Amino acid sequence: MSRQSLPDRSSARRSPAARPTDDDLLDAARAVFAERGFAQATMGLIADRADSTKPTLYAHFGDKAALFRATVSREVGALRDWVIRAHESAGGRPLEDRVRISVMAMFGYAGAHPESFRLLFDSAVDEMSNERRALADTIATHVVAQVRDYLHTHGRPAGSGADLLGAMMVGLVGRAAMHVSHSPGVDPIAAGELATGFVMAALRGLDPALLARLEETQPAGQSAT
């Protein structure tokens, strides 16, 4: 008696009532892309995770690259909304509280949505680099405004140095939050408080002379006017 082959779940059909929504499919794609990366993820694995079929995925989103773009676009929007809400909630608070809220927003999202965070900041796929860069710019815009306020309040130069400090903070906090998203045993709130203390200590310890020197430095080939 010949061995019966197992059915291919990726080509099996659901009943119409049980068909997944686009969000169900994107949730499955987010999980697989976050776990395996773009190169190792397959439409079959994603269909299995969604308890759906490969034809359904192709019908809804096209090929794997298109599905990846749709997944990242949704997650970019979710993180952007999360960060903007956090910044809006900080309006009118003391400056140091606003810095803390900005830092904690990233750690809170990394802890609450680790798959989403890993997908957005771990992936090496170039196709979405512009969209992720736009997200980082949105976050940096809010952070730089707070850095400028802090420097002005403490009588320190707040020109291009504020932009550089904002970029440093976004990079530092982003990498630290990524560590939290990969470390289930790390409390994201405690990690965020530590990062907040680190950032505030760095701002308080800034040497005004170094900020002034940066403002005085002219790019190569340009002379002071």
Equal CATH topology for 20-62 and 74-206: no
| Model confidence band, residue 219 (pLDDT cutoffs 50, 70, 90) | low
Beta-carbon contacts of residue 16 (< 8 Å; ≥ 6 apart): none
pLDDT digits (tens, 9 = 90+) for 84-103: 888 888 777 887 888 888 88
DSSP-based three-state secondary structure for 5: coil
CB 105 within 8 A of CB 128: no
Among 115, 125, 111, 121, residue whose Cα is nearest residue 26: 115
Amino acid sitting at position 110? A
C-alpha to C-alpha distance for 117 and 121, rounded to whole angstroms: 6
Please give the average per-residue pLDDT across 173-192, as a whole number. Answer: 88
C-alpha to C-alpha distance for 203 and 151, rounded to whole angstroms: 8
pLDDT digits (tens, 9 = 90+) for 49-63: 999 999 999 999 999
As given in the structure block, the two tokens for residue 139 are 């976050």
Q: How much is the pTM?
A: 0.75
Residue 51: left if φ>0, alpha if ψ -120 to 50, beta else—which one? left
Beta-carbon contacts of residue 52 (< 8 Å; ≥ 6 apart): 14, 19, 20, 24, 25, 28
Amino acid sitting at position 169? M
pLDDT digits (tens, 9 = 90+) for 144-164: 888 888 888 878 777 788 888
Q: Tell me, rounded to whole angstroms, the distance of Cα 114 from its chain centroid.
A: 10
Q: Can you give the residue ranges of every domain in the chain? A: 20-62, 74-206
Fold topology of 20-62: Arc Repressor Mutant, subunit A (1.10.10)
Amino acid sitting at position 188? P
CB 86 within 8 A of CB 102: yes
Q: Give CATH for domain 74-206.
A: 1.10.357.10
